[in-house]
Amino acid sequence: GQNIDQPTEMTATEGAIVQINCTYQTSGFNGLFWYQQHAGEAPTFLSYNVLDGLEEKGRFSSFLSRSKGYSYLLLKELQMKDSASYLCAVRLFSGGYNKLIFGAGTRLAVHP
């Protein structure tokens, strides 16, 4: 089976840094994505890792270690609008096609 684990909830203070971890045990790994989802809205793409290491995009960075089955999303200079769910998704190559399997998501609350 496929297993993706993330913390259920996190809280942080405006202006601070927060790290959201994701561990996975899957077959056919073909990349890892992070999405942001505000309540009642569609997920929006944040970052993508397929090779080990750090990818930086403005205030957001994502790290991947394939040997450890581990990724994290780092959010810097937190803003109130960053309060949302953050979904870790593993892309699997299955039956000749890619598909995404999502973790349960981490609900982040940013406080003043």
Partner 1 sequence: DTEVTQTPKHLVMGMTNKKSLKCEQHMGHRAMYWYKQKAKKPPELMFVYSYEKLSINESVPSRFSPECPNSSLLNLHLHALQPEDSALYLCASSQDALAGQSEQYFGPGTRLTVT
* Binding region for partner 1 (CB under 8 A): 31, 33, 35, 41-45, 48, 50, 87, 89, 94-105
Residue whose structure tokens are 């957001």: 60
Give least dist CB 17 to partner 1, A.
24
For partner 1, the closer of residues 40 and 112 by Cβ is 40
For partner 1, the closer of residues 72 and 86 by Cβ is 86
Distances (CA, A) of 51 to 9, 65, 77: 27, 8, 26
Give least dist CB 45 to partner 1, A.
4
Within its chain, how far is the Cα of 2 from the centroid?
16
Give least dist CB 87 to partner 1, A.
6
For partner 1, the closer of residues 16 and 104 by Cβ is 104
CB atoms within 10 A of CB 31: 16
Widest distance between CA atoms in the chain: 47
